[in-house]
With several copies, the nearest count.
Chain A
Amino acid sequence: MKYQATLDGKQHEIHVIEKGEGVFEVVVDGQAHTVDALPLDHGAVSLIVDRASYSVEMEESGDGKVNVLVRDHVFTIELLDERRMRMRLAGGRFVVEGPQVVTAPMPGKVVRILVAPGQEVKEGQGLVVVEAMKMENELASPKDGTVKEIFVQEGASVEGGAKLVMVE
């Protein structure tokens, strides 16, 4: 099976060939490895790659990517197989332009709104302060623009991912 992986913005070609029960030849960007892979519960995988042992923890990140913890490092990888790659290529890239919606990065409480609709803001300027776990977190504008809409009120509790402010 062939996969295309994206890690830190770079593409990698990976070819997985099953050699026996739990034993694989894995070719990453043309370099081949013998891999003994044992999947365990809770998304853990024990890998023995050319004799080196790695206890790897996998976690779906929710946006189709997977966070991979190896030793002391975390890697966020997006993996596509050939079919999904073709779909992606056919669909083209999603272009980030036009109005931007700032969302709550975690559940919390809106303690202050720092801007008003119609106000001009600069990239990096604070828009809303959300408190969670006793910490105030100021959420900044992703770009220069105008505040188009404010979706929340001061004092409101919001879920992670809730829309807060739209900047255009």
Chain B
Amino acid sequence: MFRKILVANRGEIAVRVIRTCREMGIRTVAVYSDADRGALHVRMADEAVHLGPAPSRESYLRIDRLIDAAKATGAEAIHPGYGFLSEQAPFVEACDAAGITFIGPRPEAISAMGDKTGARQRMIQAGVPVVPGMDEPESDVNRAREFARSIGFPVMIKAAAGGGGRGMRKVESEEEFDASFAAAQREALAAFGDDRVYVEKFLDKPRHVEIQVFADAHGNCIHLFERECSVQRRHQKVIEESPSPILDEDLRRRMGEVAVRAARAVNYLGAGTCEFLVDANKNFYFLEMNTRLQVEHPVTELRCGVDLVRWQIEVAAGKPLPLSQDEVRAQGHAIEARINAEDPAKNFMPSPGKITYLRLPGGPGTRIDSGVYPGYTVPMAYDSMIAKLIVWAPTREQAIQRLQRALSEFVVKGITTNIGYLKRIVAHPEFLSGDYDTTFLARRAEELRAATNGELARVALVASAVYQYQLDKNRARKLELAAQGAAAARSRWAEMGRLRALGRAGGVR
């Protein structure tokens, strides 16, 4: 087993990886940019190496500096987390060249799946259904617009190197196309260092269901069931749950088998996720494979009683998977809610800043994966997710009740978060019914706005008035005490007969 691992990431996922390393007795090396000197992952790691300025391209995306850091600290392996360099084949190759184990798939698998259009071809060859779309990325806006017209609007523009909903844009009509195409290219470049995008048919009211797969270096490849990720805002997942309310045993089994087939088709190694769209007729289409750990991996961990990061490390060290497909048991229901530093009342404007107070939920079935602490300043340079709240309960109904309860215990002060918005989502009849799709949040945006409540408004008025009263009173008391203090000082001085002092009694204190 490795004695030291460098974690090439930041935020909650770096903390997540460090936790498992600590449990395994493996020493950890954190890396950090100028914006992250005070970040929790730096504080928790055994060692920390500075990478560069705040922008990712000058720090967390600097392959050379990461390799140097690993060499300098004697780290034998690198865990890439998600995002940043986690799906960059050149990074894996650089690790190989330096004799450092990359904790993830081989570069060929990353390239095969990272090139979204190439991956589509592979999947078609493997007999996996895919959404109609381009066979190749397209950089010319005119040709892209032409293709979009040929398959009919609405269409999706996606980053060829993408994943996780970044660089994805839905285009409703031809007029919007050019602007969206340019924006998608910019976002793709910013997020992945690669501005290639492609166009795909947009499916109406699809569900986003993904399958967790895991492969070792001994020819074993299994799946750990699904995660339902249809609660999305602007293609960013907000709430994930497992099991999916729409999958039956047969569909679950078939999707699992297809996901394993997809992974095997690229000689996959480690943790990966096959994302599918499921339409209203329960047809499923391969969307893409994320060749890394997902943000929402704890949903699977809670449901299957496993530690996927531990599995990643063990598999990277050459061990076989600890479970066979038949031994994977899923129990109960798990849901994750992503806590973001953003203001839903102001069009989800980011809200970086200092967390002045933090009270986390606890109790039964409640897990927090977070990269923040009271006193931490959330930087503006990185994404807005500050924590994940994941709950487990025997049934979906109980898990939702638990998530509602836990969200109501979550207090963050100093910055604005989406906690209230999350509460409204998980109390919305459409979510409760389980019959929702990826258009849920957009369609229900009005209903998901904060509504007022007469009783609580009255309580808020009472609280603000009493609070102000006490502030006013304390201030008055201080002034009075200061005056009394001066008077007392005068009288004490007088008592001691130091008459000279009386003359400047006003200056005492």
Question: Is the A/B pair a real complex?
Answer: yes
**By the criterion CB–CB under 8 Å, are A105 and B349 in contact?**
yes
Say whether A132 faces chain B, with CB atoms less than 8 Å apart: yes
Contact of A44 with B by CB under 8 A:
yes
Q: B48 touching A58 by the CB < 8 A rule?
A: no
Among B350, B453, B467, B468, which residue has its beta carbon within 8 angstroms of that of A137? Answer: B350
Q: Do A106 and B350 touch across chains, with their CB atoms under 8 A apart?
A: yes
Q: Mind listing 18 A-B residue pairs with CB under 8 Å?
A: A26-B462, A35-B462, A45-B463, A46-B38, A46-B42, A53-B47, A56-B463, A68-B463, A73-B420, A75-B457, A106-B349, A106-B351, A106-B352, A107-B380, A111-B186, A134-B166, A136-B183, A136-B187
The reply to whether A72 and B48 contact each other, CB–CB distance below 8 Å, is no
As a 0/1 sequence over residues 342 to 360 of chain B, the CB contacts with chain A under 8 angstroms (1 = contact) are: 1000111111100011000
B residues less than 8 Å from A37 (CB atoms): 463, 466-467, 470
Contact partners of A107 in chain B: CB under 8 A:
352, 380
* Inter-chain contacts of A55 with B (CB < 8 A): 43-44
Q: Enumerate chain B residues within 8 angstroms of A48, measured Cβ to Cβ.
A: 42, 48
- B37, B384, B458, B470 — most chain A CB neighbours (10 Å): B458
> How many residues in A have their beta carbons less than 8 Å from beta carbons of B?
62
0 or 1 for each of A55-82: is its CB under 8 Å from B? (1 = yes): 1111100000010111111110101010
8 Å CB interface, A72-107 against B? 72-75, 77, 79, 81, 105-107
Given the complex, which residues of A lie within 8 Å of B420, measured CB to CB? 72-74
The answer to whether A3 touches B383, judged by C-beta atoms less than 8 angstroms apart, is no
Contact residues of B between 350 and 375, Cβ < 8 Å to A: 350-352, 356-357, 374-375
- Decide: B411 and A69 in contact? CB cutoff 8 A: yes
Residue of B nearest to A53 (CB): B48
Do the beta carbons of B465 and A16 come within 8 Å of each other?
yes
Complex-state Cα separation, A35 to B458, whole angstroms: 12
Is B472 in the interface zone, CB < 8 Å from A?
A: yes
Query: Would B384 and A42 count as touching, CB distance under 8 A?
Result: no
How many inter-chain residue pairs (CB < 8 Å) link A and B? Answer: 182
Contact between B459 and A47, CB atoms less than 8 A apart:
yes
Which one of A5-13, A117-125, A141-149 contacts B? A5-13
Q: How distant is B82 from chain A, measured CB to nearest CB, in Å?
A: 13
Q: Is the CB of A26 within 8 A of B465?
A: yes
The answer to whether A79 touches B464 (Cβ under 8 A) is: yes
> With A46-B37, A134-B191 in contact, is A3–B46 under 8 Å at CB?
no
| Interchain CB contact under 8 A, A133 and B457 | no
The answer for the CA separation of A139 and B390 in the assembled complex, in Å, is: 34
Contact between A133 and B461 (Cβ–Cβ < 8 Å)? Answer: no
- Chain A residue, CB-CB nearest to B69: A51
Q: Closest 9 interchain pairs by CB? A: A41-B375, A55-B43, A133-B350, A75-B460, A68-B460, A133-B384, A53-B48, A14-B465, A42-B357
Partner of A66, one of B347, B453, B464, B470: B464
CA distance in complex: A163, B347 (Å): 20
- What is the CB-to-nearest-CB distance from A57 to chain B, in angstroms, rounded to a whole number? 6
Contact residue among B190, B341, B357, B380 (Cβ-Cβ distance under 8 Å from A43): B357
Residue from A8, A45, A51 in contact with B48 in the complex, judged by beta carbons closer than 8 Å: A51
